[in-house]
Amino acid sequence: MTIETRLHPELNLEFSPPIATIMFDAPDNENRLNPDSLRSLGALINELSSSTDIHVVILTGAGEEWFSAGLMNPAIRATMTKDEVIAYVIDGNQICDGLEALPQVTIAAINGKVVAGASELALACDIRIAGEHSTLMLPEAKWGGFPGAGAPHRLPMAVGHAHALELIASGKQIDAKEMTRIGFVNHLHPKG
């Protein structure tokens, strides 16, 4: 039996034991998470950590253009105080750690652009697959910052130190073939 639940305006859960699919569902906002939807995601991950009915957790984005634009960008950052930014980064880090620690197999099904904090959520998954049209970008250096939810630790384990440093320091975008070549994703799939 499949049960679909809207956990938050930007977050859906499809519960079909033994699989749970978490969908970032804000296509008009690049499937971006905000502080409230991030907390909802954290609560869900906490619940899933003790589930015996779920064996696989899939993260994906609504539509084919965006997996997710992540958590923050310069425009959002400009509306927040320093303490709010720090709290948001800490929440993101704890959620990525919780996702990585889930006992279930976790899969990031990347179906479009994966940017900033969304790439950190993908890195916290056991397996990453991507559509052939997908792209990856860690633009935080261009914004005067750095990825704060674990990418400096997790990315080198996935792609090696040199590729990780280049991606984090340059903020450049890479396509799906390059994502596969360097080891960010395991497999590519046709769009659709």
Q: How far apart are CA 30 and CA 61, in angstroms?
A: 9
182 Cα distance to chain centroid: 18
Q: How far apart are CA 30 and CA 16, in angstroms?
A: 26
- Supply 31's token pair: 């499937």
Which residue of the set 120, 132, 166, 178 is catalytic? 120
* Element spanning 43, H or E: helix 35-48
Q: Partners of 98 in the beta sheet? A: none
Q: How far apart are CA 69 and CA 166, in angstroms?
A: 20
Is 140 a known active-site residue? yes
Q: Is 7 in a helix, a strand, or coil?
A: strand
Is 132 a known active-site residue? no
Q: How far apart are CA 192 and CA 190, in angstroms?
A: 6
Q: Is 52 in a helix, a strand, or coil?
A: coil
- Please identify every residue annotated as catalytic: 120, 140
